[in-house]
Structure 1
Amino acid sequence: MKTKYSMSDLKSKYADKSWNETVQLVRRCMDKTKADSRVCEPITKCLQKINEALNVSSLKAMVSRLEMVAKQRGLGSHLSPTETVCYLTADLFYIEVVMLPGGQVEDVRVAHHGEVPVSSTSLLHLLRMKKFQVFSLKLEDLASFYNIPGDSDVKIKIYTSLRHLECDLFKISHLPRSLRQSDLHVDLILNGRIGNVQPGKEGTPMKIEYYISPLDVLMGMPSTGEVSHGQVALVTVGSSDTSHRLQMESLIPSPPQVDSFGFSVFQPLTESCSELLPATFLLKLQPPLPMLSSFIEKMAKITDGVIPKTPLQVEPLPQLLMKTSTSLKNSKMSWAEVVQFIVPLPASECHSYVLSGAEWDHEAWKGALIHTVPFSHPGHVPVLLEILRHQSAINVLLASCLSNPNHHIDAGSLYDLRCEILPESDHCLSVTFSLPDGNHLAVLLVMVVDSRQVSCRLLMPDFMDHKLDDYISRVLMRCMSIPITMRAIRRKVASVMTPPLPAADQEPTTEMEGISSTTPPQVADNANTDAIANPSYCASLSVYSHWVTSGHPAEIL
């Protein structure tokens, strides 16, 4: 009731006042309360909304808005003696906003601890366009980059250590090596010792591009000339419950050296060149990466226990991929069921890919979503990135089959190819599909050796051809897409199983995807005896048995 009467009194008191007088009164009130820490939260929010609604058309208004943004992000703020420069300050950095008498912004400079201020074009553009909300978010990102534990002295030491780490990583990235790809940018991402390194600037951390799907390269490079997709790791620091010995100077000798395996040589991490600090370095993965538990354990061994060996929660890898997929994360599918994905291809071709939750519910194929990878030495980074690349290659292959889920497939629906994806060993999966004659099944075994080597093996009745296996492996490595590779296999197998034309009517054949073949496939007299030592359980007579038990007609088998 008191509030109601107070508002009524205020309205009657200022009813006859002009709008200009009211605006001036509001500004005076805002100036008086901004330094009062006892102002209650509702009034603060109200003043914030009023401030955002006012047009910034003067020096005083610009300063008021900058001070409000600083307060929102937990930063300090003060004016220079000339009142033309506003400083937004934190422990390890500050921002200078240079203004003209009319309130226009002339320059924005970011200064890190112990470094010379550097002009920021992006922040300057935001303030000139008066996009204060976006500017505030940029300050939040900058402050989170310096989210370092401890007092000011400890923060300075950790920041100094991070700078030396960045220097060493930059040196490693520039060590001489042989090229494997024709495009230098793509080659750095896929084959560089630590990917394509971009030094931090304007308060952003160092960025490492460490993997991109070859299909994304093929789709994106001709039109733009740049790679816009892929896996990125930001090099930052984070707090730790235990202290770790972190470098306080560069650990790479000058000039840099490499050992017999091509790895960089480091100076010993002694007490004279390092300190025990309550922090670790971090590779902040963007986007977060679904990883197998076996890979997480490998990374834990590399970092000497800095990474926990076993994640708290694990799920089947395909389920993690479905949760992180932009097109699938909001779907209502149940992983406990048999999930069918419909993958469209060019020329109106359509494939069906089936994954059974029960089949993938094995410890070897369970993992967790990894957001950050902690480490304590620059020598950890090249090896960690190789594991991240390996996992990314597996994820890309599986994700190529996860598109347009559909639980209610019409019995009469026709697909050019029906496949079932099943897990084998840690890095091996199988694709079971029907042959063109409709009476036999074939199995494609896919072994992801690492991010640069994928080995394929086609198992078919009464058929054996190592050259075809090599061809399939090259096609898959070029696109890293199971549906595209299965399309190539389907056409190849159809040409093999088609009776040959008379000699006079035969036409010269050409291989798909621009890969030439010099030897025709060999057909064995008996069943394929060149199988692997541990035959795949997915090639048994029970393949597609879940379709039979779920009521689907036998014609689709």
Structure 2
Amino acid sequence: ISTNALMEKLYLKYEQKPWTETLKLVHFCMDKPLGRPVSNPPDGPLLSCMEKIQRTLNAKSLFSVMNRLQSLSRQKGLNSHVSPSGTTCYITSDMFYIEVQLEKDGKVMDVKLAHLGEAPVICDDLVRHLRMKNYDAFGKILEDLSNLYLIPGNSEMKAKGYLALQSLEKDLYSMSLQDRTEDVSRVTEVLHGKVGHLVPRTGGTPMNIEFYISPYQVLEAELNPDSQVCGAKIVVTVEGTDTLHRLPISPLIADFQTGEDGNPAFLLLTDELSMDLSACFLLKSHQPIPMSSFSIEEIQRLTGRIQIADLKLAPLYELIVQSTLKEKHNEDLSTHNSCFSVSLPDCPKHCYFINNGSEKSDLAGALVSKIPFTHPKCVPGIIEVLRHQMAYNTLISSCVSEKHINEDDSELLYFEVTPQKNTSFSVSFPHPVKDNLACVIINVITSREIQCNLHLHPEDPTLNSSDDFISRAVKRCMSVPVVMRAIFRNAAKVGA
């Protein structure tokens, strides 16, 4: 067919259609990606080298910034094209596109994000990352956006998955407002809020929930307001699955009425408000959380027995020690040496022996980074379990340091930390003035309730520390070494 005949045919086809519809079709065709690259393309090594060069170069000019954006798009399996003016880069997929507007000198003016069927909105987080040349963070957001739509099915089903996520976010935000007062502090929300301290999704940054913060982190934030100290966080997202799950596609909290348990009243999952999708909601943690088998079972009970994937059971204390050393950026993550030296002001150095207790099956645990669920009502219960586990982990990790003890030292105060049932453990140590052992049992009942009991030999003198005093000290500082120092100081007053 000749070019003239083809143009005539196109003209007749669209003669009766409004111009706005034609523009919409052209825009859609321009934004349609070429699809994800094959897993092992023949030019893979060359592309990998090019990406490393782009990463090393500090992109400043318009040309270099465009090249960096297009390289990053290819790396994340997305399509990209440049506008005729050469100052706008479009990063596209079937379900969303990002519009990066640049000045002639390569400076970023605006970054807009549009999901399928939605108007584009300016994303301050994307603008900030690109202006700071933080392409790793920008690439992570591209990856997170793509992962939102990794749901089996066509574009319509993927859009339904995104709609389900929006519905969940609206319900969680409504729950966060229920108990909020004007003067409530962030720390109070983190430790006591039904859904912690919730930050809604903005642009490419997913909704996140800060659910636990230690007393030392609170103190650091008060002493250094600009330090941006934050506690344990999880992000809220959706992910494809091999099985169907009934997910809400409309908010289920119609008003602020609450049930007898104080939780919000949810609408029923009718066919109008929900549908079966090959997907489920996720609470994701960037750093895997060491969790006991007991806590994992409790979460799976709350979510209707939805299995948490990729669990590898190991002694819980070994996992806590390993995670603590990793947070301290210690290259030696070996847990074979379980003796740690802890230094405190105005006190002899402490040595803590962490007893893994691996022979007890109920003290096994696993690293958990994803928690699947299907209904917003599950979230408050999950957060309570996570808080409980984090409080327990905080106490155990307070005995872990980067310094190991390999030889006996008469100047050291020796302690042994041994797991007991569920979320309780004991700290054993030599009596300050006698040859017998003393022992403190610490029972972490919830993240806000801790009960301690001091056990001494009947013939040994008191240490001048009541159970109530020790319990209050633990809750105030969440540090075993600090509490042990307080006990020894009180004992010294009796001797004096």
TM-fit CA distance, 1:75: 1.3
1:368 aligned to which of 347, 366, 369:
366
2:404 aligned to which of 403, 406, 409:
406
CA contact 2:414–2:429 (8 Å) conserved in 1 = yes
Deviation per residue, 1:113-167 (Å, 9 max, x gap): 3333222334334545656565444433443344444321111000000001000
Q: Alpha carbons of 1:453 and 1:59: their partners in 2 closer, same or farther (altered >3 Å)?
A: closer
| Whole-Å separation in 1 of the counterparts to 2:403 and 2:103 | 58
- Please name the residue that 2:234 is paired with: 233
CA contact 1:67–1:77 (8 Å) conserved in 2 = yes
CA contact 2:342–2:350 (8 Å) conserved in 1 = yes
- Please name the residue that 1:352 is paired with: 351
CA contact 1:189–1:211 (8 Å) conserved in 2 = yes
Q: Alpha carbons of 1:450 and 1:99: their partners in 2 closer, same or farther (altered >3 Å)?
A: same
| Whole-Å separation in 2 of the counterparts to 1:302 and 1:146 | 26
Q: Alpha carbons of 1:495 and 1:121: their partners in 2 closer, same or farther (altered >3 Å)?
A: same
CA contact 1:86–1:98 (8 Å) conserved in 2 = yes
Matched, 1:290 2:290: yes
TM-fit CA distance, 1:476: 0.5
TM-fit CA distance, 1:370: 0.2
Deviation per residue, 1:47-93 (Å, 9 max, x gap): 65777788967655554443333222211223445554321112222
Amino acid aligned to 2:313: V
CA contact 1:145–1:204 (8 Å) conserved in 2 = no
Matched, 1:220 2:221: yes
CA contact 1:299–1:307 (8 Å) conserved in 2 = no
TM-fit CA distance, 1:396: 0.5
CA contact 2:463–2:490 (8 Å) conserved in 1 = no
Deviation per residue, 1:321-376 (Å, 9 max, x gap): 122122486326453x7x2111111125311111234x343111110000100000
- Please name the residue that 1:444 is paired with: 440
| Whole-Å separation in 1 of the counterparts to 2:243 and 2:42 | 39
| Whole-Å separation in 1 of the counterparts to 2:351 and 2:54 | 56
Query: How is 1:411-426 mapped onto 2 (pairs within 5 angstroms)?
Result: 411-415=408-412, 417-426=413-422
- Please name the residue that 2:322 is paired with: 323
- Please name the residue that 2:490 is paired with: 492
Q: Alpha carbons of 1:421 and 1:270: their partners in 2 closer, same or farther (altered >3 Å)?
A: same
- Please name the residue that 2:303 is paired with: 303
2:427 aligned to which of 427, 431, 435:
431
Query: How is 1:132-211 mapped onto 2 (pairs within 5 angstroms)?
Result: 132=135, 135-176=138-179, 184-211=185-212
| Whole-Å separation in 2 of the counterparts to 1:453 and 1:62 | 53
Matched, 1:76 2:72: no
SS in 2 for 1:373: strand
CA contact 1:93–1:111 (8 Å) conserved in 2 = yes
TM-fit CA distance, 1:111: 1.9
| Whole-Å separation in 2 of the counterparts to 1:447 and 1:420 | 16
- Structure 2: 5+ residue stretches without partners: 1-36
- Please name the residue that 1:549 is paired with: none
- Please name the residue that 1:390 is paired with: 388
TM-fit CA distance, 1:467: 8.0
TM-fit CA distance, 1:198: 0.3
| Whole-Å separation in 1 of the counterparts to 2:53 and 2:340 | 51
Q: Alpha carbons of 1:461 and 1:61: their partners in 2 closer, same or farther (altered >3 Å)?
A: closer
| Whole-Å separation in 2 of the counterparts to 1:192 and 1:55 | 43
Q: Alpha carbons of 1:330 and 1:94: their partners in 2 closer, same or farther (altered >3 Å)?
A: same
CA contact 1:215–1:478 (8 Å) conserved in 2 = no
Amino acid aligned to 2:238: V
SS in 1 for 2:224: helix
Among all aligned residue pairs of Structure 1 and Structure 2, give the percentage whose two residues are the same amino acid.
Answer: 38
Amino acid aligned to 2:411: L
CA contact 1:99–1:106 (8 Å) conserved in 2 = yes
CA contact 1:322–1:328 (8 Å) conserved in 2 = no
Q: Alpha carbons of 1:468 and 1:407: their partners in 2 closer, same or farther (altered >3 Å)?
A: closer
Amino acid aligned to 2:90: Y
Deviates more, 1:118-127 or 1:467-476: 118-127
| Whole-Å separation in 2 of the counterparts to 1:233 and 1:467 | 38
Query: How is 1:517-536 mapped onto 2 (pairs within 5 angstroms)?
Result: none
| Whole-Å separation in 2 of the counterparts to 1:48 and 1:401 | 43
User: Over alpha carbons, which structure has the higher Rg?
Assistant: 1
Deviation per residue, 1:162-218 (Å, 9 max, x gap): 001000000001102689xx9711100000001000011121110000001122212
Amino acid aligned to 1:222: L
| Whole-Å separation in 2 of the counterparts to 1:275 and 1:201 | 26
The two structures have a TM-score, normalised by structure 1, of 0.74
| Whole-Å separation in 2 of the counterparts to 1:224 and 1:206 | 23
